[in-house]
Chains A and B, each alone.
Chain A
């Protein structure tokens, strides 16, 4: 049964809460990052644990911005419990069907089988970010100025990889896909229009399910363009207050956000409670707001802080 986020949360009297929460569960379950991402049963158990332990409003895979880059030849570094990072970029794209990608698809299937009536979300990396992860962002930016046709060719090839992967995730049962395109906030509006937006649109229009664009960073100048990609919503960080974003975006466009994960990791619970109220009070009455974090919550964030965030959100009436 297909779930759309707006319909699913329509009857909620409180704000739905879907933080970008994954890696903090790994030390609790004593599962390493590599073990989780390379084993769909472990990845499923991590996602299930998060859903049950923290009582959030969606089942979600972990955010990993290296899946596509690895498929295109980049080398990835794994630490014990944190998000993987690209260690070595490539000069030429060479597609490889990786074990990690296959396990990610299987994880989405398991999550959908686990619960029919809770939205299942999964991540892909946006084309510009994925290309930067693969060949190096500085090289990509330099090419966009010196060899624009070459940059476009690389981006088109990466877009096809992202598109195929996103479609597989959709076929596996994801109800919505979060396309993480954080690197686009590096771009001027002109370059976003040229090098990121058309490729995002190409991915999103190939999907039947809802796509949410994650554009953390200083991305206010891109917000109006983002809603022209066909996305159902946007995920933003603390750089853009939710109320300000709602004034720029069309009515009903979903807005995920936007508590700073750094603050969530470092603040005391009473401060988190206060700041969540400050975050959400201005947007009471808006049914398109989904409380979240601005980006991935670090692995070392205490369960107490995470629960304070979630429980404070749940105690705020939105109607």
Chain B
């Protein structure tokens, strides 16, 4: 197979949720002269975009998003030694976390994986993150976007606390804020002054991309 065929094969193995083939083709592609950047920016990014479209068409469900993301991570692990300390150019930076009091992180993890595949640098703060940690991360990392997730009604009120903390720290106008999670609605996002609401991971990532690239 040619280098381009192998890059497409890696992409297809992500779409087909095939762990073994994804590893096999990644190693073959590297031998055929593909760079880690090409594999990440073409195969993984395109693969995750197709997976996202299948999710929107209800062919794939959240479990398939999780698996595709895991395959992307496995491929990235293989590529690490080949990166030689080089940083892949990213289109933007996102700080993401599940808010204080909420230990649920699947949604947030799926979004983080898809953002990485979409060429964002992701700083994942984990779950049960208090407002001050979001503020610290924004000061330290200077992200373009802050993403927050909450599964529970009782914890989604923390999203407003984070936005208020960003305002108090003079950082609110330095970032776009997007929220999502089972408890969250578009009306709630508007009411607390968030810039965007992701009804699901795919839509959330699309909104982030639009903010950065205008597309």
Contacts and interface: CB of A to CB of B under 8 A. Distances in A.
A249 interface: no
A141 B63 contact: yes
A191 B19 CA distance: 17
A86 interface: yes
A98 interface: no
Contact of A145 (B17, B101, B183, B188): B17
Contacts of A186: 61-63, 66, 106
Given A138-B109, A144-B63, A299 B104 contact: no
A261 B66 contact: no
Contacts of B62: 185-186
Nearest to A145: B67
A261 B58 contact: no
Contacts of A86: 103
A150 interface: no
Interface in B30-80: 58, 60-64, 66-67, 70
Nearest to B153: A298
A298 B63 contact: no
A188 B19 contact: no
A87 interface: yes
Contact of B103 (A77, A141, A262): A77
A191 B63 contact: yes
Given A138-B70, A138-B106, A298 B61 contact: no
A217 B182 CA distance: 8
Interface in B10-41: 17, 19
Interface in B162-215: 182-183, 185, 188
A265 interface: yes
Contact of A266 (B66, B67, B188): B188
Counting contact residues on chain B (CB < 8 A from A), the size range is 20 to 34
Band of interface residues on A: 20 to 34
B107 to A, nearest CB: 10
Nearest to B64: A188
Given A138-B66, A142-B66, A82 B152 contact: yes
B1 interface: no
Instruction: Tell me which of A217, A221, A266 has the highest count of chain B C-beta atoms within 10 A of its own C-beta.
Output: A266
Nearest to A216: B182
Interface string B100-123: 011110100100000000000000
B94 to A, nearest CB: 20
Contacts of B66: 137-138, 141-142, 186
A298 B154 contact: yes
Given A186-B61, A187-B63, A261-B153, A137 B19 contact: no
Contacts of B61: 185-188, 218
Given A82-B154, A188-B61, A142 B70 contact: yes
Nearest to B59: A188
Contacts of B67: 141-142, 145
A146 interface: yes
B78 to A, nearest CB: 16
A185 B62 CA distance: 8
Interface of B: 17, 19, 58, 60-64, 66-67, 70, 101-104, 106, 109, 152-154, 182-183, 185, 188
22 contacts: A77-B103, A79-B101, A82-B152, A83-B152, A85-B102, A86-B103, A138-B106, A142-B66, A142-B70, A145-B17, A146-B19, A186-B66, A187-B63, A188-B61, A188-B64, A191-B63, A217-B182, A262-B183, A265-B153, A266-B188, A298-B153, A300-B154
